[in-house]
Amino acid sequence: MNSAFRILMVCTGNICRSPFAERLLQREFDYLAPGEFSVGSAGTHAVDGSPVQPEVLRLAAQRGIDLEGFAARSLEQSMIQEADLVLVMDRGHRRDVVLKAPKALRTTFTLREFARILPGVPPERGAAPAGRWHSLSALAPRYRNTPIGSAADDDVVDPFSRPMRIYEQMDAQVTSAIVSIVNWEVSSG
């Protein structure tokens, strides 16, 4: 079996967007291909050990995602270097990742950007899921282009210290992107 394909989710504090995206994507991949994927997360300005925001805990629980006991981690260069794919929540995070690890430029995307371009990337048929995703990480940069509309459409809104409706908007944006990612894997298998 190939080694697990490693995905790193990155946001600012690692207490809202990236833990939610990490656990949702890991759950979906565990259902589709147990042991083929390892999804983690970190924050560009995280306070190590901080808990997930209560609003995110509630939204996650509504989706059957367990975030109790989650502890924030600060983004380190080694995390980026060990990841096969880095999915960030906004364009500022992509800049931060690439400044820490310039070689990650080709394999770092915003979550929504990656979900937008993924349907156009042909899968490697017949490969195990982890192998298919290793090929995908090499191919995906060729499909990167300027989005129709505003480049801000590729960002996931930051709900921290904002009204609940912004947390719900974050939930919808992350979930929609992950559904696109999972659908690509389902149709590729």
CA 93 to CA 84: how far, in whole Å? 17
| pLDDT per position as a tens digit, 1-13 | 448 999 999 999 9
- Dihedral sign of CA atoms 78, 52, 171, 150 in order: negative
Is residue 124 pLDDT above 90, yes or no?
Answer: no
Q: Which residue has the higher pLDDT, 146 or 54?
A: 54
pLDDT confidence tier of residue 147, bands split at 50, 70 and 90: low
| pLDDT per position as a tens digit, 10-38 | 999 999 999 999 999 999 999 999 999 99
Q: What is the mean pLDDT of the chain?
A: 92
Mean pLDDT on 56-78? 94
Question: Are 189 and 127 spatial neighbours (Cβ–Cβ below 8 Å)?
Answer: no
